[in-house]
A and B are shown apart, each in its own frame.
Chain A
Amino acid sequence: MLNIKNLHVKLEEEDKQILKGVDLSVEAGKVHAIMGPNGSGKSTLSYVLSGREGYEVTDGTAHLGDVDLLELEPEERSAEGLFLAFQYPVEIPGVGNMTFMRTALNAQRKARDEEELSAADFLKLVRARAKDLKIDADMLKRPVNVGFSGGEKKRNEILQMAILEPKMCILDETDSGLDVDAMKLVSEGVNALRDTGRGFLVITHYQRLLDHIKPDVVHIMADGRIVKTGGPDLALEVENNGYADILAEVA
């Protein structure tokens, strides 16, 4: 589903190489986790895949199915089925949460030559999905993420994911800032979307989230590279011994 080959990325404004040859493949139906120390390039990878400005790809490729992601605008990548749940969801004063989600869904449908959803059908869809995530009417009415707690912001990300039904979901530190209850809600939301046709890339600093969202494959990222790949027990190893051992081992 997602195929990343030898991806090299530097900052556009500075001569600073951040990704130094990332190789990664996520198959449909699988959940891959990326763990790694702060500053290792995990968020950068998610931003480059989703098309944020400020980065320059100096080598390598990234495909979603047959589609060359790096050729596309962010909105085109989204319409192709890529979704990034942000580490820091953005507050947008003046834009209603509902308006935003409806605009996004309909823009994607339009890009795929599908018919737009009517206001009534959209409302039905949102209400159903919001209920599972315990998102109340008030949160839907408010401006996007404005005045939301950390947990509410993350649930709002998962709500958008549930509504847009992407093929490939990237979750960047979705566990950060969540208490135990919110973590459960968010994980259940993600697990409900697990499907044979959908891939997940779960970026996390801690093992905690992976107790709830059980990964098939775990990668360790350090200094802009995937340095080790293994099964779910690799996450436990990190939990017990920290990153130092693993990093020393691959050095």
Chain B
Amino acid sequence: MALPQVKVDATDARVADLSLVETGWTAAARKNALSRLREMGLPHRRDEYWKYTRPDTLVQPEAPAAAKFDPQEPPIFSEMDRLRIVFVDGVFDPEASDDLTLEDVRIDRLAEANSDIHWARDLYGALEAEGQEPVERPLATLNTAFATDGVLIHVTGKPSKPISLIYYHQATSSDAVLHHVIKLDAGTEFTLLENGPAAARFNKVMEVEVADRATFHHVRAQGRDHERRAATHIFARLGAESTFKSFTLTANGVLTRNECVIELTGDDAVAHVAGACVGDGDFHHDDTVFVTHDALRCESRQVFKKVLRNGATGVFQGKILVKEGAQKTDGYQISQSLLLDDDSQFLAKPELEIYADDVACSHGSTSGAIDETALFYLRSRGVPHAEATNLLTLAFLAEAVEEIEDENLRDEIVSRLEAWLTRHQS
């Protein structure tokens, strides 16, 4: 089928000023990605997969301007013992970063790993390419072709502290394209933190290979900039008895599309993806999740909660695909929104597709207002209206936040949510 001309044009326009890296171990993957991209074309607003979120500003050649935002508080995770890797508008900042050495893990930067052979060669762009079936994710393919930097993390043991990717946004129309590859060897355990808005427009891909019995924790907070845009993808492949847990906090941001594509390929693997987002006004947040069960007795959970007010929009597209033979699958998916007024909206498309007969899968999606009875109960005990509303809002978000295993990280996320709610109360 020939690609519609609008897509050909949009893709040509987008890549016109980008240059392909033609040397080193990523060259082949990049070239391959560019040809795949030309075949599929960049997303268009009439695409089924972009029905609820307009891709125009994510696709157009120039990043739309976005004022940098200066929060008065120190960035999240500041107090934690962690190895910091800092990017400003997508450019590595060696001064602000720690030494990239940590026991039980090898860390390289994509831009510096120029040799012909690298451990990440078999992964870079590979999980992304696999994740194009059955739904295309061209923005990720664009990323594979043109990423300017990123971090390559090979976990060989149990490092003593998390690695923390910190993304600052400085320039008004910065356009950052970063690609990370993370590989956890069998039996290892590792935590990755990410925080910050990154750029006026951010395109990020993270490919994660979790080998047998390994455990990966991921907690990210996407910054507080109001005008920034982001399209992010996580592609994860899980081996037997491995664990993958990813949580995302999104507060503000005019446009966010977070896609997460997980393949459970080894028996008894566990994958949890969760997100809590809070939006006030000009805010559009889209979580698009695709979990494939392709092994025995795997467990997956998708828990997404959205608090929306003053015309904010939330989108959830989530799918559990259980392949033939993936018996004893335990799949759970919940997406809920709390609408704090009549102007806000939540659009959800939960899907189950099951080709095995012995599975337990459930999904639910709801949209509702604050429970007035509970609100009155709290107030009748002396809790002021605003505080009572915040308590109930945090309670609504709790199921998602509780997906974070580490108590300190959970507390950090909760305190950020509390602060946001306090700033945004009616």
Binding site for B on A (CB under 8 A): 50-53, 73-75, 77-79, 83-84, 86, 89-95, 99-101, 103-105, 107-108, 111, 143, 160, 164
Contact yes or no, A93 B395, CB < 8 A: yes
Contact yes or no, A75 B379, CB < 8 A: yes
Min Cβ gap A42→B in Å is 17
| A164→B391 CA distance, assembly (Å) | 19
Given A51-B380, A52-B380, A111-B382: 20 more A-B contacts, CB < 8 Å: A51-B379, A53-B372, A73-B384, A74-B376, A74-B380, A75-B379, A75-B380, A75-B384, A75-B385, A78-B379, A78-B381, A92-B378, A93-B395, A94-B392, A95-B392, A99-B391, A101-B381, A107-B384, A164-B381, A164-B382
Contact yes or no, A94 B373, CB < 8 A: no
Min Cβ gap A166→B in Å is 9
Contact yes or no, B381 A92, CB < 8 A: no
Binding site for A on B (CB under 8 A): 371-374, 376-385, 387-388, 391-392, 394-396, 398-399
Which residues of the other chain, A, contact B380 by a CB distance below 8 angstroms? Answer: 50-52, 74-75, 77-78, 83-84, 86
Pick the 3 closest A-B CB pairs, nearest first: A94-B395, A78-B382, A104-B381
Contact yes or no, A94 B399, CB < 8 A: yes
| A104→B379 CA distance, assembly (Å) | 8
With CB as the reference atom, state the residue of chain B lying closest to A89.
B377
| A92→B381 CA distance, assembly (Å) | 14
Which residues of the other chain, A, contact B387 by a CB distance below 8 angstroms? Answer: 103, 107
With CB as the reference atom, state the residue of chain A lying closest to B377.
A90
With CB as the reference atom, state the residue of chain B lying closest to A105.
B382
Min Cβ gap B321→A in Å is 30
Min Cβ gap A116→B in Å is 13
Contact yes or no, B379 A92, CB < 8 A: no
Answer whether A92 and B383 are a contact pair too, CB < 8 Å, given A53-B372, A53-B376: no
| A238→B385 CA distance, assembly (Å) | 41
With CB as the reference atom, state the residue of chain A lying closest to B399.
A94
Answer whether A92 and B395 are a contact pair too, CB < 8 Å, given A74-B376, A86-B377: yes
Which residues of the other chain, B, contact A74 by a CB distance below 8 angstroms? Answer: 376, 379-380
Answer whether A94 and B383 are a contact pair too, CB < 8 Å, given A100-B378, A104-B378: no
Q: Could you pull out 29 A-B pairs where Cβ atoms are within 8 angstroms?
A: A51-B379, A51-B380, A52-B376, A53-B372, A53-B376, A73-B379, A74-B376, A75-B382, A75-B383, A75-B385, A78-B379, A79-B382, A86-B380, A90-B374, A91-B374, A92-B371, A92-B374, A92-B377, A92-B392, A92-B395, A93-B395, A94-B392, A94-B396, A95-B395, A100-B378, A100-B391, A101-B381, A160-B381, A164-B381
Which residues of the other chain, B, contact A79 by a CB distance below 8 angstroms? Answer: 382
With CB as the reference atom, state the residue of chain A lying closest to B393.
A94
Min Cβ gap B295→A in Å is 33
Min Cβ gap B422→A in Å is 14
| A84→B379 CA distance, assembly (Å) | 11
Contact yes or no, B398 A107, CB < 8 A: no
Partner of A94, one of B382, B384, B394: B394
Min Cβ gap A115→B in Å is 15
Min Cβ gap A25→B in Å is 22
Which residues of the other chain, A, contact B383 by a CB distance below 8 angstroms? Answer: 75, 100, 103-104, 107
Contact yes or no, A104 B382, CB < 8 A: yes
Which residues of the other chain, A, contact B382 by a CB distance below 8 angstroms? Answer: 75, 78-79, 104-105, 107-108, 111, 164
Min Cβ gap A159→B in Å is 12
With CB as the reference atom, state the residue of chain B lying closest to A50.
B380
| A193→B420 CA distance, assembly (Å) | 40
Contact yes or no, B379 A94, CB < 8 A: no
Query: Which of B380, B388, B395, B396 neighbours the largest number of chain A CB atoms within 10 Å of its CB?
Result: B380
Which residues of the other chain, A, contact B373 by a CB distance below 8 angstroms? Answer: 90
Query: Which of A73, A95, A105, A164 neighbours the largest number of chain B CB atoms within 10 Å of its CB?
Result: A95
Which residues of the other chain, B, contact A83 by a CB distance below 8 angstroms? Answer: 380
Which residues of the other chain, A, contact B388 by a CB distance below 8 angstroms? Answer: 75
Min Cβ gap B65→A in Å is 39
Which residues of the other chain, B, contact A86 by a CB distance below 8 angstroms? Answer: 377, 380
With CB as the reference atom, state the residue of chain B lying closest to A46.
B380
| A83→B382 CA distance, assembly (Å) | 9
| A90→B376 CA distance, assembly (Å) | 9
With CB as the reference atom, state the residue of chain B lying closest to A94.
B395
Partner of A95, one of B384, B385, B391: B391
| A101→B392 CA distance, assembly (Å) | 14
| A90→B395 CA distance, assembly (Å) | 14
Which residues of the other chain, B, contact A164 by a CB distance below 8 angstroms? Answer: 381-382
| A91→B380 CA distance, assembly (Å) | 14
Which residues of the other chain, B, contact A143 by a CB distance below 8 angstroms? Answer: 395
| A79→B399 CA distance, assembly (Å) | 32
Min Cβ gap A86→B in Å is 7
| A134→B109 CA distance, assembly (Å) | 60
Min Cβ gap B216→A in Å is 27
Contact yes or no, B391 A103, CB < 8 A: yes
| A101→B396 CA distance, assembly (Å) | 19
| A95→B382 CA distance, assembly (Å) | 15
With CB as the reference atom, state the residue of chain A lying closest to B394.
A94
| A99→B418 CA distance, assembly (Å) | 14
Min Cβ gap A41→B in Å is 18
With CB as the reference atom, state the residue of chain A lying closest to B401.
A94
| A59→B361 CA distance, assembly (Å) | 56
Query: Which of A73, A89, A94, A111 neighbours the largest number of chain B CB atoms within 10 Å of its CB?
Result: A94
